Structure 1
Amino acid sequence: MTEVSQREQRSQVDEEIRWMLADATGVSRSRINELPAQPELFGSEISLSSLAGVTLLSTITDHLGVDIATEDLSLDCLESIDTLVDFVTRHRTTSREETVQRSPLDRSTRGTSPYA
């Protein structure tokens, strides 16, 4: 992946995480978008509660395909917006690559069952 596409992917993940964070916390999207990347998720600026944290993790799993609770048992990635975006970007790329490599469907055999 090129540096430009990595930056674009990270930017997209940042935007999506901020949207999900606003929904999980009830903080306005404009306020979340104004925040720098470093404030602590459980700190005073965002005030992520444990219930909102579970909601956020579930939404990330459902919409971005990264199961943070499984991938980061200590949940260190929940330190800040920045650490969360970095983690999701890194694991989203890895998950997609693994899915492609493990996919039972080969595009060259479209229309035929891989189980036949």
Structure 2
Amino acid sequence: MVRELIAEAIGQDEAVVAALPGDTRLFGPEVGLSSLAGARLLDSVRERFGVDVAAEDLNLDALESIASLSGFVDQHQR
């Protein structure tokens, strides 16, 4: 589900994001998350899962990689 939101935020096909390894950096060249796309992603995560990443992770370490964001959402989901 998180990968689907990432794909939507960056305007990429879901299959492309689904094929990336979990340790792929969100702000790295493979995903290329921009600050605007990052804000859209955080909004989508909050709406879909009820997790406010920015409020609960002040350093935003959860946005390091696909796996870190997925793990953060899993741990904080309502």
User: Normalised by the size of structure 2, how large is the TM-score?
Assistant: 0.97
Task: Give structure 1 regions of 4+ aligned residues with deviation exceeding 3 angstroms.
Answer: none
The size of the alignment, in residue pairs, is 78
Partner of 2:69 in structure 1?
84
Deviation at 1:27, TM superposition (A): 1.3
The equivalent position to 2:52 in structure 1, one of 47, 51, 67, is: 67
1:20-63 deviations in whole A, cap 9, x for unaligned? 10000011111001101001000000000000000000000011
Residue type at the aligned position of 1:40 = R
**Aligned match of 1:55:** 40
Gapped regions of structure 1 (runs ≥ 5): 1-15, 97-116
TM-score (norm 1): 0.66
SS of 2:55 mapped into structure 1? helix
Larger Rg: 1
Whole-angstrom CA distance in 1 between matches of 2:8 and 2:68: 19
Residue equivalent to 1:31: 16
Q: Look up the equivalent residue of 1:74 and give its one-letter code.
A: N
Higher relative contact order (CA 8 A, sep 6+): 2
Structure 2: which 5+ residue stretches go unaligned? none
One-letter amino acid of the counterpart of residue 51, structure 1: L
Q: Which residue identity lines up with residue 86 of structure 1 in the other structure? A: G
Q: Which has the higher helix share?
A: 1
The answer for the alignment partner of 1:11 in structure 2 is none
Which of residues 12, 21, 32 in structure 1 aligns to 2:6?
A: 21
